[in-house]
Amino acid sequence: MIAIPYLTLLTTYFSYGLLFVFGHIRDLFRNITGWFSSNNLQGYAPICLGQEDFYLRRLYFRIQDCFARPISSAPGAWFDVIERYSNDNNKTLKRTTKISRCLNLGSYSYLGFSASDEYCTPRVVESLKKYSPSTCSSRVDGGTTVLHNQLEEYVANFVGKPAAIVFGMGFVTNSAIIPALIGKGGLIISDSLNHSSIINGARGSGATVRVFQHNSPSHLEEVLREQIADGQPRTHRPWKKIIVIVEGIYSMEGELCKLPEIITICKKYKAYAYLDEAHSIGAVGKTGRGVCELLGVEPADVDIMMGTFTKSFGSCGGYIAGSKELIQYLKYTCPAHLYATSMSPPAAEQIISAIKVLLGEDGTSRGAKKLAQIRENSNFFRSELLKMGFEVLGDYDSPIMPIMLYNPAKIPAFSRECLKQNVAVVMVSFPATPLLLARVRICISASHTKEDLVKALEVISQVGDLVGIKYFPAEPGNQQQEEKMLKLD
């Protein structure tokens, strides 16, 4: 749990309060002037009801230039950010042709496959010429090519399961698989900080959803015991089945999931475990096989393993790995497999090549070097940030580092100051995180060199001093670092 310093809490509430008051005053004026002007929507209710876009109009537009920055090159370690300007107080932003070369600390490219790669790109271009960018049909109709079958085999082998099925988009994978596995009369227990795609899938399935405290196996056990003893709501009949959904690395906290304990509890109470490794596959573990390898859990103990290819493999799409019967059943019922266009063949080729590089099958040791590099980079960066006195969340070995800001005014300040010094960072605030807990999220990649990281640290330290977010005193020693890690848990 994050403990906010008292003074910061007060100032944050004050800032938000001020913003809301000003926003409402402006809304009042807008309603008055709008009442006079003619409305050609007679008889129709407005398409966006009053308070829904209050946040958009009054808070988000002020800092809109910190988000959705367009780039004009590949998202590698350094990229070109297009400059934008605004004539109407940030409501609309126009592109210019000027670009600035910035250090990329925001893209999800953990292993550095995002830009043109010497092994992968020629193969991808070849497969593009052979299979063209799309098959224009669903997997069951005429969209299964040799590449798709090959990819499924490779993924299953890589993850350590008997079989796998791939889809063209990671979000749809969760939203379309969970309804196929569980329906009314079933129970889904999901972590409180799960991703929006899991929430979508859980809602779409019609099953009852209960939430357990983030990463707390003891609370999970409590919830399980209570629910099994109680049964279905109102009828108290026993549940048909129970699925527990957790993620490998939580993208807003950078924390690893407490997988061994959770799997033990699931086995004890006969619940099925669903692991979403969107951020952890390829990025953690000695050979890149994800949290199971890192934490020493047998892949056979997790019933359903899901992951995406967007982050570590530099492509697009998602997969589900499980037993042969499970995959056969999903191929028969899952709507995303039956109706949606199949994955683009060049993207499939990219993943196959990336897996080959990771396993060393391309004849070089680039894969092993990348895996070692990302581990080293993340740990180095994290320890340096902690030494400087920032409040950094997450565990060692995870390549995601959120630095807490809290105050809404610090969000645009930090972002713009960093951009002036040619470092591009990502700001996360409401609605992706709770309102008071805004943060900067750093994503480290294997393609960052030591000089890049040192420069980034310099800039962040400078801007951190300017903006005032070094909530902890700067400490030089190693021992005190351990103490701080305990405090953050």
Distance CA 307, CA 276 (A): 6
346 binds another protein (CB under 8 A): yes
Task: Give the dihedral of Cα atoms 48, 52, 58, 59; nearest 10 deg.
Answer: -130
Q: By CB under 8 A, what part of segment 34-73 binds another protein?
A: 43-45, 47-49, 52-53, 56, 60, 67-73
Q: By CB under 8 A, what part of segment 251-310 binds another protein?
A: 269-272, 303-304, 308-310
Pick 8 or 377: Cβ nearer another protein? 377
Pick 326 or 459: Cβ nearer another protein? 326
| Site map 91..130 versus another protein, x via CB under 8 A | ----x--------x-xxxx---xxxxx--xx--xx--xxx
Q: How far is the CB of 464 from another protein (least distance, A)?
A: 20
Token pair 């309060």 is found at 17
| b/e per residue 474-489 (b: at least 16 CB within 10 A) | eeeeeeeeeeeeeebe
Number of residues interacting with another protein: please give it, by CB under 8 A.
117
Which of 133, 360, 434, 468 touches another protein by CB under 8 A? 133
Q: How far is the CB of 469 from another protein (least distance, A)?
A: 20
Helix axes 324-333, 170-181, angle to 10 degrees: 100
Q: How far is the CB of 7 from another protein (least distance, A)?
A: 30
Q: How far is the CB of 304 from another protein (least distance, A)?
A: 8
Q: How far is the CB of 350 from another protein (least distance, A)?
A: 4
Q: By CB under 8 A, what part of segment 181-200 binds another protein?
A: 181, 195-197, 200
Q: By CB under 8 A, what part of segment 392-431 binds another protein?
A: 424, 426
Token pair 């960093």 is found at 418
Phi/psi of residue 96, nearest 5 degrees: -115, 180
Which of 58, 203, 214, 356 touches another protein by CB under 8 A? 203
Q: How many of the other CB atoms lie within 10 Å of CB of 262?
A: 24
Q: By CB under 8 A, what part of segment 74-93 binds another protein?
A: 74-76, 79, 81-82
Which of 86, 100, 149, 218 touches another protein by CB under 8 A? 149
Distance CA 359, CA 364 (A): 10
Q: By CB under 8 A, what part of segment 220-239 binds another protein?
A: 224-226, 228-229, 238-239
Sign of CA dihedral 67, 70, 74, 79: negative
Q: How far is the CB of 477 from another protein (least distance, A)?
A: 35
Q: How far is the CB of 5 from another protein (least distance, A)?
A: 27
Helix residue spans in 340-409 (DSSP H): 345-359, 366-388
DSSP state of 287: T
35 burial (CB, 10 Å; 0-12 / 13-18 / 19+) is: exposed
Distance CA 358, CA 158 (A): 10
From residue 14, give the alpha-carbon distance in Å to each of 64, 177, 409, 467.
Answer: 21, 44, 11, 17
Collect all residues with Cβ–Cβ distance below 8 Å to 329 and sequence separation of at least 6. Answer: none
Q: How far is the CB of 274 from another protein (least distance, A)?
A: 10
Pick 386 or 446: Cβ nearer another protein? 446
Q: How far is the CB of 237 from another protein (least distance, A)?
A: 11
Enumerate the β-bridge partners of residue 307.
319
Pick 426 or 463: Cβ nearer another protein? 426
| b/e per residue 154-171 (b: at least 16 CB within 10 A) | bbbebbbbebbbbbbbbb
Pick 257 or 351: Cβ nearer another protein? 351
Pick 270 or 286: Cβ nearer another protein? 270
Pick 304 or 371: Cβ nearer another protein? 304
Give me 146's structure tokens: 């040799």
Q: How far is the CB of 476 from another protein (least distance, A)?
A: 33
Q: How far is the CB of 390 from another protein (least distance, A)?
A: 20
Pick 285 or 318: Cβ nearer another protein? 318
Distance CA 165, CA 328 (A): 9
Choose one: 30-38, 259-267, 285-293, 330-338; the region binding another protein (CB under 8 A). Answer: 330-338
Q: How far is the CB of 474 from another protein (least distance, A)?
A: 29
Q: By CB under 8 A, what part of segment 428-487 binds another protein?
A: none
Pick 230 or 361: Cβ nearer another protein? 230
Collect all residues with Cβ–Cβ distance below 8 Å to 383 and sequence separation of at least 6. Answer: 481
Token pair 């009053």 is found at 50
350 binds another protein (CB under 8 A): yes
Q: How far is the CB of 242 from another protein (least distance, A)?
A: 6
From residue 355, give the alpha-carbon distance in Å to each of 36, 89, 152, 159, 422.
Answer: 63, 47, 12, 11, 33
178 binds another protein (CB under 8 A): no
Pick 148 or 387: Cβ nearer another protein? 148
C-beta separation of 355 from 313 below 8 A: yes
311 binds another protein (CB under 8 A): yes
